[in-house]
Structure 1
């Protein structure tokens, strides 16, 4: 079975969140007219939840994919499905606490979050394509020899 190792999954999750935060905190503060400190709390809190979700979701997705199709190689259609399911789950996890923290209604928070989701859908798609190229899954024979 060709799957990513535990250290590779940790590297993936941490790189994804660090780069995402570096982009979304200043961009979100500017776009939504929020103090950078508020966007920072939302960003860091969201990144913490997202990091855990990223690890759990990707592990589950790969196991499901391996069980359903016998491998974990992701083509374009699979990557689109992957990112949409990931972001949908993350939205369900994050919307209530963000609305509470910012003192906004769920509807207002959803509208604000949709802009962030659009950013992260595009970012996740591009990040994962790049990650797969920079850190390819080792061939099964190389994994067995290691």
Structure 2
């Protein structure tokens, strides 16, 4: 049985996704974190921007390899099921946690436990945010697959 060719997002599309994702997340999290942690907004804002830049770099790498993993299994990345989307979001956030924790501990002068507790609260929000943002993004900017183009062309002719 021949496997259908699966088309993934372009570099431009991935850049649009990452930048819009991070800007909206920064607008939500930075002021809230400054308030809850009773820290200067500028201090939290600078940390948030650093973490955001790191997240953008990891996002591109993580999603590149995750898309390839999906394609090998015959899954269209923009057509992931709820379960597949949750696994994707949890894996991404786990990767971010492992790479962010040392910086957060140093920057905010926190113990490992304090940083983990703060990260757990933020991750709970961000996993839901990632799931919803990606679902909405996939609906607003779908990647048309070659077999879908044939269906669209057929519908336009008929």
TM (norm. structure 1) is 0.92
TM (norm. structure 2) is 0.85
| Paired position in structure 2 for 1:53 | 58
Deviation of residue 69 (structure 1)? 2.7
In our comparison, the structure showing a higher alpha carbon Rg is 2
| Paired position in structure 2 for 1:138 | 144
| Aligned-partner Cα distance in 2 for 1:70–1:91 | 27
| Paired position in structure 1 for 2:114 | 108
Number of aligned residue pairs:
142
Q: Which runs of 4+ in 1 moved over 4 A?
A: none
Deviation of residue 70 (structure 1)? 4.7
| Paired position in structure 2 for 1:28 | 33
- Root-mean-square deviation (CA, aligned residues, Å) is 1.2
5+ residue gaps in structure 1? none
Deviation of residue 130 (structure 1)? 0.4
5+ residue gaps in structure 2? 1-5, 150-158
| Paired position in structure 2 for 1:12 | 17
1:127 aligns with 2:115: no
Deviations 1:39-90 (A, max 9, x none): 1122101101101111111111000110123532211111010000000000
